[in-house]
Structure 1
Amino acid sequence: MHGPMVPDDIDYINDTPTIQEYKKLKRVMKIMTNFYVGGTSTKLEQAEFNEESVAKITENEEMIQAQLDSLKTFPIHPKRREYETELNEEKERLAFEKKKYVNKAAEFRSLYEWSGGIVKVTKWLEDGLDDYCVNHLKMDLGFEVTPRPQLSREEYSSFKQGLDEITYNLQESQDFFSASLDGRLRQYHTIEKNLILAQIETVTKFPEENPRRAQILFELEQDLEYVSKNMVEDPASMAKRKKMLEMHSDFFKVLRWYREKMKALGDEYGIVDPDKRSDEEKIKSAMSSQVDFMANLTPENTPELEELKKLNLEQH
C-alpha cells in the first residue's frame, strides 16, 4: 500500500484537499468508523456474556441459600452438617468465581460506553468533512450540505478529547499488531503459557481430594486453552494482522489531517489545552499493561519484520 509514491496514495492530502483527496479522506474515515462500530459491538457482547454469567451464579447462590435455610428447621443431625459443609464450600467457590465475572462485566461495559463515544466522534468527523469542504472551502461536490452551527467551547473540547483518544488508542492498537508480526506477541504468550504450566505442575502435586485443587486446575486449564488459541499463527491470521497495520497507517495520516484542523479551530476559538503533557506521555499513560510489557521485548528477525519496515509506521 505504501510503496512508490503515487497520486492516489493517502499520503497526498493537502491542507485544502482536492476532490480526489476528499474522497480519500471519506473512504478512510468510513473504514475507521466501521472499525470502531465493530469494536463497540464486540465489547457489548463481552459485557453481556459476563453479565449473564453473573446472573446465573447469583441464581445458584440463591438456590444454595434456600437449601441452607431449609436445613435450619432440622436438629443438628450429622447429615445436616454434611450438607451445610458442602453447600458452604460451594457458596465460597461461587463467590470467588462471581467476583471475576463482575469485574469483567464492569470492564467491558465501561469499554463499550467509551467505544460508543468514540464512534460518535468518528461519525462527527466523517460528517463534518462534507460541511468543511462544501461550506468552508466552497468545493463543488455535487451536493449541498446544511451548515453546522458553531461549536461551543465545551463541544469543541469534547470532540478534541475524543479525537486525541482515538489517536492514542490507535497507537496502542498499532503497537499490538506490530508485536503480533515481529514475534514479540509470541514471546509474550509463551511466557504466559509457561506461567500457567508451572502453576498446573505445582497444583497437581497436592492431593486430588483437595477441593481447591480441582477448582484451580479447571481455571488454569481454561487459561491454557485460551492462550494456546492466541498463539496460533497461520498464514490467514498473519495476513489479517498485516492488513490491520496497513489500515492503521492510513488512519494515522487522516487523523493527523483532522488534528491539524482541530488545532486551527482551537486557535480560532482561543482555546488553550490545559493538559501540557506531550503526546508521548499521553500515549504511555493510555497504554495497556500487555502492550507496555511487549515494548520491552526484542523483535525477532522474521519475514514479517521486514514487511513492517516497509510500512514506515508513524509514531504519535
Structure 2
Amino acid sequence: MHGALVPDDIDYINDTPTVQEYKKLKRVMKIMVKFYEGGSATKLQQAEYFEAELKKVQTDESMIKEQLDVLKTFPIHPKRREYEEELQEELEKLLIMKKKFTTKADEYRKLYVWSNGIVEVTQWLENGLDDYCVNHLKMDINGLKVEPQEKLSKERYAAFKEGLDEITYNLQESQDFFCASLDGRLRQYHQMEKDIVQSQLNVLKKYSEEVPRQQHVSYELQQDLEYVEKNMTEDPSAIAKRKRMLEMHTDFFKVLRWYREKMKALGDEYGIQDQDKRSEEEKIKSAMSTQVEFMSNLTPENTPELQELKKLHLNHD
C-alpha cells in the first residue's frame, strides 16, 4: 500500500491558495530544492570518487603493460618468466577492478546528469510559484513584484512534466525505503544480505589461504560484510532522522500533487494528452529499485515506529 497516493492522506491546497498556504508551499519548495541539490552533489562526489579510482587502475595497467613490453626484449630467462607470470596475474586482477570502477563511474555520472535535470525542474517549480500567485492569481504578498515567467513551449512543457512525474515516483520510492527502515523490513533485508556474504566466507575458509583466488575473493567479501554490518548499526539519532524524512516527504507529496494539477491544467490548455496509460501504482513499481521492491514483500515487525506509520497510513498492511 502506498499511503502517500491516497487522497485522504494529503491535505488539500486550494487552487487559489491563501497567503498562509502560499508561504507553506514556498517553505516546502525551498526544502525540496535543497533536498535534490544535496542529492545531486552527493552523486557528483560518488562519480568523481569512482572516476579517480578508475584513473589509478588505468595508471597501474599502463605500468604493468610497459613492464611486460620491456621484458619481451630479453631472452626467455627464468627471471623473465617469473616476472611475466606475476605481472599477468596482477593484470588479470586489475582488469576485474577496472571493469567494476568503469561501471560504477558511468552509473554515478549518469545519475548526476539525471539529478541535475531534476534540480532544474524543482527550481523552475519554485520560481514559478511566485509568478503564479502574484501575476496569475493577483495575490498581494507583502507587495512582492515578480517578473512573469516565459511561457513554456510544448517541448519544454513535456520535459518539465516528465521531470515532475519522475520526482513524484522517486519520492514515493524514497518514502517506501524510509518506512522499511522504521518497521523492521530494512533490518531483515540487511540480515539476509549478511547471511549471504557470511555463507560465502564460510565456504572459502575451507580452502588454503595460499590460493590466490581465496585471498582475493575473501578480501572482497570481508569488505562487503563490514559494509552491511555498518548499515545494520542503528542509533536513536538515525531513527529520529528517518522520522523527520517521512514527515518531510508528506509535505513534498502535498506540494507535488498541487503542482501536478497545475501542470495538467496547462497540458489541457496546450491540448496535450498523457499517452502513458499505466496506473500510478504501475508507474511507481517501474521506477522502484530492486531493493525497495524486494522489501515490499517482507513482513513489517511490531516496532514502536510501526504504530506511528499506521497513523500516517504508511504501513504495508
User: Could you say whether these structures have the same fold, taking a TM-score greater than 0.5 normalized by the shorter chain as the test?
Assistant: yes
What residue number does 1:100 align with?
100
- Amino acid corresponding to residue 63 of structure 1 in structure 2: M
- Amino acid corresponding to residue 253 of structure 1 in structure 2: K
Matched, 1:250 2:251: yes
Aligned residues: 306
What residue number does 2:263 align with?
262
* Structure-1 separation of matches of 2:152 and 2:65: 56
What residue number does 1:170 align with?
171
What residue number does 2:30 align with?
30
* Secondary structure in structure 2 of the residue aligned to 1:16: coil
Q: 1:313: Cα distance to partner?
A: 4.0
Matched, 1:44 2:44: yes
* 1:189 and 1:231 in contact (8 A); partners too: yes
What residue number does 1:140 align with?
140
- The Cα offsets for residues 175-205 of structure 1, whole Å up to 9 and x where unpaired, read as 0000000000000000000000000111121
* Secondary structure in structure 2 of the residue aligned to 1:76: coil
* Structure-1 separation of matches of 2:106 and 2:309: 36
* Secondary structure in structure 2 of the residue aligned to 1:138: coil
Q: 1:311: Cα distance to partner?
A: 2.5
- Amino acid corresponding to residue 91 of structure 2 in structure 1: K
* 2:28 and 2:252 in contact (8 A); partners too: yes
Percent identity over the alignment is 70
Matches within 5 A, 1:69-84: 69-84=69-84
Matches within 5 A, 1:151-230: 151-230=152-231
* Secondary structure in structure 2 of the residue aligned to 1:274: coil
* 2:183 and 2:300 in contact (8 A); partners too: yes
* Structure-2 separation of matches of 1:217 and 1:114: 35
Q: 1:314: Cα distance to partner?
A: 10
* Secondary structure in structure 1 of the residue aligned to 2:54: helix
* Structure-2 separation of matches of 1:62 and 1:166: 42
- The Cα offsets for residues 20-63 of structure 1, whole Å up to 9 and x where unpaired, read as 10000000010011000000000000000000000000000111
- Runs ≥4 in structure 1, deviation > 3 angstroms? 312-315
* Structure-2 separation of matches of 1:102 and 1:188: 27
* Structure-2 separation of matches of 1:282 and 1:294: 18
* Structure-2 separation of matches of 1:87 and 1:268: 67
Matches within 5 A, 1:108-147: 108-141=108-141, 142-147=143-148
- The Cα offsets for residues 146-190 of structure 1, whole Å up to 9 and x where unpaired, read as 111221111111110000000000000000000000000000000
Q: 1:12: Cα distance to partner?
A: 5.2
What residue number does 1:53 align with?
53
What residue number does 1:271 align with?
272
* Structure-2 separation of matches of 1:25 and 1:12: 12
What residue number does 1:17 align with?
17
* Structure-1 separation of matches of 2:299 and 2:313: 19
What residue number does 2:238 align with?
237
Q: 1:310: Cα distance to partner?
A: 2.1
* 2:179 and 2:315 in contact (8 A); partners too: no
* 1:252 and 1:314 in contact (8 A); partners too: no
* Structure-2 separation of matches of 1:12 and 1:195: 46
* 1:249 and 1:314 in contact (8 A); partners too: no
Over 3 Å counting, the alpha-carbon distance change for 1:12 and 1:270 in structure 2 is closer
- Structure 2: runs of 5+ lacking an equivalent: 1-9
> Given the two structures, how large is their TM-score scaled by the length of structure 1?
0.95
- Amino acid corresponding to residue 215 of structure 2 in structure 1: A
> Given the two structures, how large is their TM-score scaled by the length of structure 2?
0.94
* Structure-2 separation of matches of 1:312 and 1:140: 36
* Structure-2 separation of matches of 1:298 and 1:85: 52
What residue number does 1:4 align with?
none
Q: 1:212: Cα distance to partner?
A: 1.0
